[in-house]
Amino acid sequence: MSQASYRQDGEIAVITMENPPVNGLGFDLRTGIDACVRRAMADASVKAVVLTGTARAFSGGADIREFNSPKSTASPNLMELITLIEGADKPVVAAVGGLALGGGNELALGCHYRVCAPGTMIGLPEVNLGLLPGAGGTQRLPRVVGAAKALDMIVSGAPIKSEEAFKLGYCSKLVEGDLVAGAVAFAREVLASGAARPKIRDKAVDPASMPGGADAFFAQAREQIAKTYRGYPAPMKNLECVEAAVKKPFDEGMMVERTLFEELLRSTESASLRHAFFAERAAAKIPDVPEDTPTRPVKSAAVIGAGTMGGGITMNFLNAGIPVTLLETKQDALDRGIATIRKNYEGTAKKGRMTQEQVEQRMAMITPTLSYAALAQADIVVEAVFEDMAVKQTVFETLDATMKPDAILASNTSTLDVDRIAGFTKRPQDVIGTHFFSPANVMRLLEIVRGKATAKDVLATTMALSKKIKKVGVVSGVCDGFIGNRMIEQYSRQAGFLLEEGCTPQQVDGALERFGFAMGPFRMGDLAGNDVGWYIRKRRYLEKPDLRYSKTADLLCEMGRYGQKTSAGWYDYKPGDRTAYPSAVVETMLVEERARLGVTPRQVSDEEIVHRLLFAMVNEAAYILEEGIAMRASDIDIIYLTGYGFPRYRGGPMFYADTVGLPKVVEIMNGFAANPNADPSFWKPAPLLAKLAAAGKRFNG
């Protein structure tokens, strides 16, 4: 069945795109539009054409269901369709409502006129997938809205609303009410005034849109992009296209666009970004919990503990319009927690991202309490008290005794056994782990820990809730540290060994940051507080006395160097200044520790540093996959992209290992095992990794 419908309103043909949900420009829709346009051209009774979509979307661009399939470029491809429309001998008016993104926007730009519904989102977001608009978008948009605005839109990928687009000259009219009727009326006006068919390709880019002249404008933009988008090739290629739109004739500009598009399409960075895009969608799917699993209503929440995490978790609920009852044991802790939440909101208001009225509205949605009776009716309760099993036990026993039936009982524990916690209640089916990341109101990741007994509807509800509070929910099974922290432990252990072998903290951090991490392990430790890991190590390594790890981090904590909060950690800090300065005290501690161990320091390359840390994690991840703690390799990638500052253009640790090639990863690990300082058993490839490498396969399909 055709995905484009055709009707006639007097002398105007109306072509409607019908490929829900967002009129993705897949093969069937393109074929449908092509046939309708040809029919309109061939029919003498038709004098003009209106091309439109649904109220939800003119078109969201390429049909992602066809991504990477030959259908996505099969004729008529988008470029051919746009050429057909632009060259048509009757005026074509795009009636644009909902959204016009990517290829959808390029299609609208290929029409002779555009009229828009108010509130329509218009953009070219291809850069988010490491690409550029490859059907003339980079050449036509600057000719319509000017170079500066087009560059901003194309490089950031951020859409603008039609109200702004109208002011910039993107469309001829904003139509209130019935968009198609307005577009038909507009087409009649066009016919009445001579049926002109203006083509954007014939226009020049307005020189006034490049303050200081084209050369100075692009030189400055280049500098800015190089700084802002380190590691991402697409923004600069997008700039080159916009510059071509300014400096070259249209057809030559189109050739530049085509060449650079193909270069990007073949790049590892784009492959990584596309992987990340699909991985995020895949993470929402749980094979044995179908999408239509009924969910429990969540209209109110409660949070236990108003500390670092409890405060941030509360804010997530408030931001989504869910009122929160916040419980503490003591009034002063409660007051402090509430004051921190207020301070955070006021900071946002000061930056102009919230009004004072909104601050008050959010604060009014918190009910502070010292009594469990006040939260008994909450639909979900999230526990964020001290990381101590005895404390968790008291809290969950009390929750079991007080909460209404069917309430979801969630724990924010970062390391403890969720099944044991569930066992403190008579309703283990209602217990789940919700592992937020710090700062909880900022970080997008939510590890959702599925206990042995967790009911499917509890899991489905928590997944849906994660979306509502704008988090990326990823399911993990129960194990110490769950997916993310279990892997990071191996990364941290290697970072410690590197110090023993001769590296400085700044050298290790530098290598990881050049690889693209927001922060290396030592700067990260200083930010989060080195004491947190110290307590965890004390517990963990007591249980595993044979496990080798570097004592350097313990020695650091024994000196009271907890990080930024004590103005001293792996680095020195000046009060009120987050700049990390290399520390002579730490250097001396490292020299002494190496002497104690009898290690002769050696030069370690950046490449070795990165591979040691990453492949240590990847090997642990292979166990995590094999044990079924993670459902799929791409979930692990998403955890690292959204919770640990892993560079998105590298696709996540598993995708990175796939990019290097698993046989090569194993070969490199074998090399590390030969290092005299290494524990060879550490570098023994996990069975899954060994199996995939031997078969020449990848983690990600």
User: Around Cβ 581, how many Cβ atoms within 10 Å?
Assistant: 11
At closest approach, how far in Å is the CB of 398 from ligand NAD?
A: 8
The one among 122, 286, 309, 431 contacting ligand NAD by CB under 6 A = 309
> What character string, x for contact with ligand NAD (CB under 6 A) and - otherwise, covers 312-351?
---------------xxx---x------------------
DSSP lists the bridge partners of residue 9 as: 12
Smaller CB separation from ligand NAD, 182 or 481: 481
Q: Which of residues 642-681 bind ligand NAD (CB under 6 A)?
A: none
Q: Which of residues 417-436 bind ligand NAD (CB under 6 A)?
A: 435-436
User: What single DSSP character describes residue 473?
Assistant: E
Q: Is 413 in the site for ligand NAD (CB under 6 A)?
A: yes
Instruction: Find the part of the chain contacting ligand NAD (CB under 6 A) among 159-167, 385-393, 515-523, 679-687.
Output: 385-393
Smaller CB separation from ligand NAD, 436 or 640: 436
Residues contacting residue 230 through CB under 8 Å, at least 6 positions apart:
516
Per the omega criterion (within 30 degrees of 0), is the bond before 290 cis? no
> What character string, x for contact with ligand NAD (CB under 6 A) and - otherwise, covers 265-304?
---------------------------------------x
At closest approach, how far in Å is the CB of 403 from ligand NAD?
A: 14
Q: Is 375 in the site for ligand NAD (CB under 6 A)?
A: no
Per the omega criterion (within 30 degrees of 0), is the bond before 159 cis? no
At closest approach, how far in Å is the CB of 435 from ligand NAD?
A: 6
Of 498, 437, 489, 517, nearest to 619 by C-alpha is 489
Instruction: Find the part of the chain contacting ligand NAD (CB under 6 A) among 76-84, 384-392, 465-473, 600-608.
Output: 384-392
Of 69, 279, 262, 273, nearest to 701 by C-alpha is 279
Smaller CB separation from ligand NAD, 205 or 409: 409
Token pair belonging to 180? 């198609």
Of 221, 223, 258, 252, nearest to 78 by C-alpha is 258
- In DSSP notation, 224-264 reads HHHHHTTT-SHHHHHHHHHHHHHHS-HHHHHHHHHHHHHHH
At closest approach, how far in Å is the CB of 528 from ligand NAD?
A: 6
Q: Is 503 in the site for ligand NAD (CB under 6 A)?
A: no
Q: Is 530 in the site for ligand NAD (CB under 6 A)?
A: no
Q: Which of 86, 126, 383, 447 is catalytic?
A: 126
Strands of the 431-436 sheet, one edge to the other: 366-369, 324-327, 301-304, 380-383, 408-411, 431-436, 445-449, 472-476
At closest approach, how far in Å is the CB of 407 from ligand NAD?
A: 17
CA distances from 506 to 276, 521, 601 (A): 29, 10, 16
At closest approach, how far in Å is the CB of 452 from ligand NAD?
A: 20
Smaller CB separation from ligand NAD, 314 or 412: 412
Instruction: Find the part of the chain contacting ligand NAD (CB under 6 A) among 8-16, 19-27, 380-388, 678-686.
Output: 380-388
Smaller CB separation from ligand NAD, 14 or 422: 422
Smaller CB separation from ligand NAD, 168 or 333: 333
Classified as helix, coil or strand, 382 is: strand
| CA terminus-to-terminus distance, the chain | 33
Rounded Cα distance between 277 and 248, Å, is 34
Smaller CB separation from ligand NAD, 413 or 634: 413
Smaller CB separation from ligand NAD, 52 or 434: 434
What is the 3-class SS of 146-207, one letter each residue?
CHHHHHHHHHHCCCEEHHHHHHCCCCCEECCCCHHHHHHHHHHHHHHCCCCCCCHHHCCCCH
> What character string, x for contact with ligand NAD (CB under 6 A) and - otherwise, covers 391-410?
x--xx---------------
At closest approach, how far in Å is the CB of 492 from ligand NAD?
A: 14
Q: Is 310 in the site for ligand NAD (CB under 6 A)?
A: yes
At closest approach, how far in Å is the CB of 380 from ligand NAD?
A: 16
- 419, 450 contact by CB (below 8 A): no
Q: Is 489 in the site for ligand NAD (CB under 6 A)?
A: no
Of 116, 459, 411, nearest to 289 by C-alpha is 459
- Please count the CA atoms within 13 angstroms of the CA of 467 that sit on its side-chain side: 10
Token pair belonging to 572? 């020195």
User: Around Cβ 214, how many Cβ atoms within 10 Å?
Assistant: 15
- Site size with ligand NAD, rule: CB under 6 A: 25
Smaller CB separation from ligand NAD, 282 or 391: 391
Q: Which residue is nearest to ligand NAD (CB)?
A: 307
The one among 239, 298, 306, 614 contacting ligand NAD by CB under 6 A = 306
At closest approach, how far in Å is the CB of 438 from ligand NAD?
A: 3
CA distances from 468 to 64, 359, 461 (A): 23, 20, 10
Known active-site residue 86: no
DSSP lists the bridge partners of residue 366 as: 324
Q: Is 487 in the site for ligand NAD (CB under 6 A)?
A: no
The one among 305, 433, 643, 651 contacting ligand NAD by CB under 6 A = 305
At closest approach, how far in Å is the CB of 325 from ligand NAD?
A: 12
Known active-site residue 291: no
Instruction: Find the part of the chain contacting ligand NAD (CB under 6 A) among 107-115, 185-193, 383-391, 656-664.
Output: 383-391
- 516, 549 contact by CB (below 8 A): no
Token pair belonging to 241? 């296209």
Angle, helix 606-626 to helix 633-643, in steps of 10 degrees: 130
Smaller CB separation from ligand NAD, 170 or 437: 437
At closest approach, how far in Å is the CB of 557 from ligand NAD?
A: 16
Token pair belonging to 253? 């500009």
Q: Is 385 in the site for ligand NAD (CB under 6 A)?
A: yes
Smaller CB separation from ligand NAD, 397 or 627: 397
Q: Is 109 in the site for ligand NAD (CB under 6 A)?
A: no
Chain position carrying tokens 């919990």: 289
Rounded Cα distance between 427 and 547, Å, is 36
The one among 59, 340, 412, 466 contacting ligand NAD by CB under 6 A = 412
Q: Which of 11, 66, 86, 106 is catalytic?
A: 106
- 157, 141 contact by CB (below 8 A): no
Instruction: Find the part of the chain contacting ligand NAD (CB under 6 A) among 216-224, 241-249, 411-419, 678-686.
Output: 411-419
Smaller CB separation from ligand NAD, 289 or 333: 333
SS3 content of the chain, % helix, strand, coil (to 5): 55, 10, 35
At closest approach, how far in Å is the CB of 436 from ligand NAD?
A: 6
Rounded Cα distance between 6 and 324, Å, is 52
Angle at 410 between CA 406 and CA 416, to 5 degrees: 140
**Residue numbers of the site for ligand NAD (CB under 6 A)?**
304-310, 327-329, 333, 384-387, 391, 394-395, 412-414, 435-436, 438, 528
Just list the catalytic residues: 106, 126
